Chain A
Amino acid sequence: MLSLIIFKLLVSFNALAIEKCPSDSYYVKSHPRGSYTKNDGTFVKATQVIGFCRKKSEAYSFWSEKIKDGTPPNWPHINESKSSWSESEKEKFYEAMESLPRELWQSNLKGVYRLKRSKDFPNPASQGGDMIVLYDNAFSSDRTLARIASHELAHQIFDNLNENQKLDYSLATNWKLKFEDRKFFWEPRESGYVEKDGNLSRAEDFANNIEYFLFKPDELNLKTPTALQWINKHFGDKFKLRETK
């Protein structure tokens, strides 16, 4: 009985707090937050966050509508089970998005979903049909959430490039269009990949190269300088990670 009363009090306190947040802020509910590392290498300790009003960031305004629970509509990997966003994960996601260049924020993206585990575990994230899925291990990976998300958002960019831009990227990075046995296919360049799976498709190569352009540009320059040059030319000088508080 006592616990029920306490629970009701907490709920009403939360509701009151939400109402009290100014219009330029949103209420962050009390939640346990696990330790994690920011893009700049700062280690953030685990703690119990007490509910508070946070000023709406640019990332919150853009992404809050896109954060969705449940399974994405028509998701082809039917054996992947759904999860839901925790308060802590949402906050980490906004922080990660804030650090990424705005060119990666593609407005035609319909949703960012949470599923438990990829059919290709330990793959931490997937993209398709204008949707992104983050799996549980995206929040506990050695790669930062921003880096994982940048890769999936790069897939969305590749989808959004027009065919001439895709062709330009492909040819500039030494992919060759071939026609054998009455079939077209893109032949990967022989070497020069920042990640092994870059030779699976032009889209995968593009996403890897965008990720490395932002997070390990020296390695990209060493292994695929043509990609670095293309990204520089296409996006310009402002395409880089942003400093966050």
Chain B
Amino acid sequence: MRLTNLVILFLVIHMIGCQAKRINNQISFEKVQQLLPGNDTQEVVSRKLGSPTQKELNKSSQLETWLYDDQKSGYQRLTITFSENKKILSILWLPHSGEPEADLEFIKGKFSQNSFTQKTIVSENPHTIEKSINYTSEKHGMSLLVEGAKETVVGIAFYDKSMRAPTNDETKTPPFTDYLIGK
């Protein structure tokens, strides 16, 4: 009898685990857009998406971040940062190659009500120079990270508009004109 109980307990735990995994498997860009920054809590996120792969606490801000890895590759897929009152502060989605949201024109069309402002970000280190482009709609709390000559959308962020604005907002003059317009 005791053994039967143990077997049942094991099966129940296994089923709960599968359920959580199944929810996680179903994470999609459509589902992510249903989350509301500034409104939805950790509980809501957990109910809609399941448990995250990893939870992190930012050392300086003390804000909690949930990371959801892609089930197939094990790579970072979705990152949600919560404010002190456990509500969503920002959502960061990493599109996969070939997914429609990796295409800048698709995103611009899908969010045509958003008025994006474009800004080139140049980062230098002693040996090399890199650049990327940010498209931001302050009004709608949305930002895109775009890289490469083909303008691939690498990251899509939705954020609570009360989120602190960047403190350092300088734009450098690009050093290599031909490099920056793409090869």
Contacts and interface: CB of A to CB of B under 8 A. Distances in A.
A166 B147 contact: yes
By size class, the interface of chain A is 35 or more
A236 interface: no
A243 interface: no
Interface stretch (A23-31, A45-53, A59-67, A199-207): A199-207
A42 interface: no
A74, A75, A177, A197 — most chain B CB neighbours (10 Å): A177
A118 B165 CA distance: 36
A171 B126 contact: no
Contact of A184 (B67, B143, B167, B177): B143
Interface residues of B, number: 44
Contacts of A197: 125-127
Contacts of B154: 163, 167, 177
A184 B123 contact: no
A76 interface: yes
A158 to B, nearest CB: 8
Contacts of A118: 126
B130 A201 contact: yes
Contacts, number: 121
Interface stretch (A1-9, A119-127, A136-144, A216-224): A119-127
A200 B75 contact: no
A176 B76 contact: yes
B177 A181 contact: no
A167 B145 CA distance: 12
Contacts of B183: 108, 130, 160
Nearest to B132: A184
Interface string B111-154: 00000000000011111111010101000000101011010101
B34 interface: no
Contacts of B76: 171, 176-177
B132 to A, nearest CB: 8
A128 interface: yes
Contact of A180 (B61, B94, B125): B61
Interface of B: 58, 61, 67, 73, 75-76, 79, 81, 90, 92, 94, 97, 123-130, 132, 134, 136, 143, 145, 147-148, 150, 152, 154-155, 157, 159, 163-167, 175-179, 183
